[in-house]
Amino acid sequence: MAANPGGGSTDAGGGPVRHIPVLLDEVLAALAPAPGKLILDGTFGAGGYTSAILAAGAEVIALDRDPTAIAAGQAMVAAHGGHLKLVHSQFSHLADHAPKGGLDGVVLDIGVSSMQIDEAERGFSFQKNGPLDMRMSATGVSAADVVNRAKVSDLIRIFHFLGEESQAPRIAHAIEKRRVEKPFETTRDLAGLIEQVTPRKMKDKIHPATRVFQALRIFVNDELAELAQALFAAEAVLKPGGRLVVVTFHSLEDRIVKKFFSDRAGKASGSRHLPAALERAATFTAVGKSMVSASEAEAEANPRARSAKLRAGRRTDAAAEAADMSLFGFPNLASLGKLGG
């Protein structure tokens, strides 16, 4: 997943937007930072949450997979005299950066950052013509590799499952036909084809390319698996009483977080008539409401907040459970490793 500076984009290829931390007050209320506490911000971005956590007196370990965010954050590190440690890392590896004594809190803000959208050369936005890239870490398989090399059947599955695109077969077949003549290189190149294949209707609220760009970004960065692995990692390193706070911006992510907290709430295994010894102890209890969304005032002031959902849990003293990815029922998609080169 991207490091999001407190504000994810609800439009996978949207234009530039001002950096405003989303649900900041609600995040702080759920996270409860305070002097003497150590919080891990898994999605540093422009430092929106980290700055507020530091202001509350807590110390912060912040992660980001984007090297540009790490470079930009060095001034903040210098300004906080050892209270902030900034690490270049995917948040799925957060357990590698937690001390042996554990953490008092973990916050994850899931989505693409405004910095990444605003830079045409990163290839996230179809409103800014640039290379068809979308790699948050600037390494590995790009969106162009996927579009130009994946089998049409794989493209259909990627667009359908990760973008929830109803026109996935039509778009995938059009891509297959066009790439024989000329490989896709730019964001406008791909968006232009999608516009031709599925023209925008008057009633449409989003651009025709939005869902395909979302699907490609999620696939290229393995975002759903990254999120799932980060949830398991947080469970393993949080102290009893520690808080896990996650802000998501679309339904795929929110379903993963909801399913995780529901599963970790503790329940009987199998039939209610089985021995009590088979009951599972809860590893998390709810913090506040099961889901918090932005107020009307915040959504009006910051369009990015409209689809934001916050879920939070408090760690119990029960042992962490196994990191079983089958919990989430992810579809079997193409291998990223076979599409590079």
What is the separation, in whole angstroms, between the first and last Cα of the chain? 22
The CB density around residue 77, as the number of other CB atoms within 10 Å, is 18
Sequence-separated (6 or more) residues with CB below 8 Å from residue 101: 239
Could you tell me how far CA 314 lies from the centroid of its own chain? 21
Burial 79-103 (b: 16+ CB within 10 A, else e): ebeeebebeebbbbbbbebbeeeeb
Q: How far apart are CA 61 and CA 233, in angstroms?
A: 15
Place of tokens 């162009």: 144
Is 123 known to sit in a ligand binding site? no
Q: Is 116 annotated as a binding residue?
A: yes
167 marked as part of a ligand binding site:
no
- Residue 66 among known ligand-binding residues: no
Is there a binding annotation on residue 15? Answer: no
CA distance 67 to 62: 13
219 is in an annotated binding site: no
Q: Is residue 29 helix, strand or coil?
A: helix
Query: How far is 174 from 113, CA to CA, in rounded Å?
Result: 30
Cβ neighbors of 37 (< 8 A, separation 6 or more) are: 57, 58, 59, 104, 105
DSSP string, 177-232: HHHHHS---BHHHHHHHHHHHSPPPTT-SS-TTHHHHHHHHHHHTTHHHHHHHHHH
Cβ-based neighbour number of residue 154 at 10 Å: 18
Was 91 annotated as part of a binding site? yes
Residues in binding site: 47-49, 64, 91, 109, 116
Residues in binding site for S-adenosyl-L-methionine: 47-49, 64, 91, 109, 116
